[in-house]
Homo-oligomer: A and B are copies of this chain.
Amino acid sequence: MRPVPIETSRRWPAVPVTMRDVARRAGVSVKTVSNVVNEFPHVTPATRARVLAAISELGYRMNFSARSLSLGRTGMITLAVPELRLPYFAELSDEVIAVAAERGYTVLVEQTGGVRERELEVLTSDRRRMTDGLIFSPLGLRPADARSLEVDYPLVLLGERALHGSVHHVAMGNVEGARAAAEHLLERGRRRIAVVGSYDERGAGAGSLRTRGFTEALADSGIEHDPRRTGEALEWTRTTGAQAMRRVLERGADVDAVFGLNDVLALGAMRVLFERGLRVPGDVAVAGFDDIEDGRFSCPSLTTVQPGRAQIARTAVWLLVDLIARGEPAGAGGRELVVAPELIVRESTGGPDGSGDAPK
């Protein structure tokens, strides 16, 4: 038997109050307590009241581990993203957590750093088993890793399109979005467009798709992208964006516009243009991708592609919750849900009206 607790001590854990204790106190059975707690329909108001009284008197709290063990579900899902400090993933996580809460789920966040090995580990780790399912935004995974995604638990992939095998995923319009941004720059009369950001050729990520959309748009206008105008940045941050922009300029490349493969890259690049005294959009127009909050308040504000982040988050959560409810694993023939992107024109490309540097 457990040693008798010393009442005067404030040590923790306080003697746990179980359903049995509540049942004893209320003079009912454990099952009845369970019925009350779980709001089962057929309980007499009288007994119900007695049980509730006992619960509050004893300060009873449900033990989730026991409940999970019995139910076979935890009420938690895992969200795996590269890094929370990247605004896009912070905002995405915000929405995933909010929507999950609406659906009664709590979210456990894992950071992979976008590193392939750690992404593979997330898929198979014991920690993953603590939750009912996984929403996964991969970055380092390659098409060759597709088989690793055929796991035996509910899984929804985020943001990528190329990795799809039989895995459910919510994709964004990377190609279309990038194409729209490029076409917009072309319409503004820009012809010497730099690209900031690069990607692992073996990868299957947003990088290759956005680059393709960009390149195709140029090709449609009979323009060939000059590789000297590509600023390499495998990691997509403000810092690497700035470095990439510097390299392009120091290479002596002639540039009248910049397309950042995402917003932080674009903002990093814009910072360098600012340092060099180049006016945006007067001398160089800038566009990004993601529509993060910063871009709405930067000076000048940043033209970008809104990938439908809120929609992606909501869809992913609903899909996953549905898979969990239906007891369906990944690898059982995955749906692809594509969210349409939207170009948002702001000052960094001349504003909606195409005027010059704004505001004066």
Q: Interface on A for B, CB 8 Å cutoff?
A: 10-14, 61-66, 68-69, 72, 74-76, 83-85, 87, 90-91, 93-94, 97-98, 101, 106-111, 126-127, 129-130, 152-154, 238, 242, 267-268, 270-271, 274-275, 277, 293-294, 296-301, 327-329, 331-332, 359-360
Contact = CB atoms under 8 A, between A and B. Distances in A.
A299 B274 contact: yes
Contact of A130 (B106, B153, B301, B329): B106
B328 A62 contact: no
Contacts of A300: 274
A268 B90 CA distance: 19
A134 to B, nearest CB: 13
Given A11-B327, A90-B90, 18 more contacts: A13-B327, A14-B152, A14-B329, A65-B65, A75-B130, A84-B90, A85-B91, A97-B111, A106-B130, A107-B108, A108-B108, A238-B296, A267-B297, A274-B299, A274-B300, A274-B359, A298-B298, A299-B299
A271 B107 CA distance: 34
A126 B65 contact: no
17 contacts: A10-B332, A12-B152, A75-B130, A76-B130, A84-B84, A97-B109, A97-B111, A98-B111, A107-B108, A108-B109, A238-B296, A238-B297, A271-B298, A271-B301, A274-B299, A274-B300, A298-B299
Contact of A129 (B64, B101, B127): B64
Contacts of A129: 61-64
Nearest to A323: B12
A340 B94 CA distance: 29
Query: Taking the full assembly, how many copies of this chain does it contain?
Result: 2
A156 to B, nearest CB: 14
Contacts of A69: 63, 65-66, 69
A109 B110 contact: no
A326 B64 CA distance: 21
Contacts of A293: 85, 238
A325 B329 CA distance: 36
A270 B299 CA distance: 9
Contact of A359 (B110, B277, B327): B277
Contacts of A127: 75, 106
A34 B124 CA distance: 19
A331 to B, nearest CB: 6
Nearest to A70: B65
A175 B78 CA distance: 38
Nearest to A72: B13
Contacts of A299: 270-271, 274, 298-299
B84 A94 contact: yes
Contacts of A72: 13
Nearest to A37: B126
Given A107-B108, A152-B14, A87 B84 contact: no
A294 to B, nearest CB: 5
Given A87-B87, A107-B109, A126 B62 contact: yes
A262 to B, nearest CB: 14
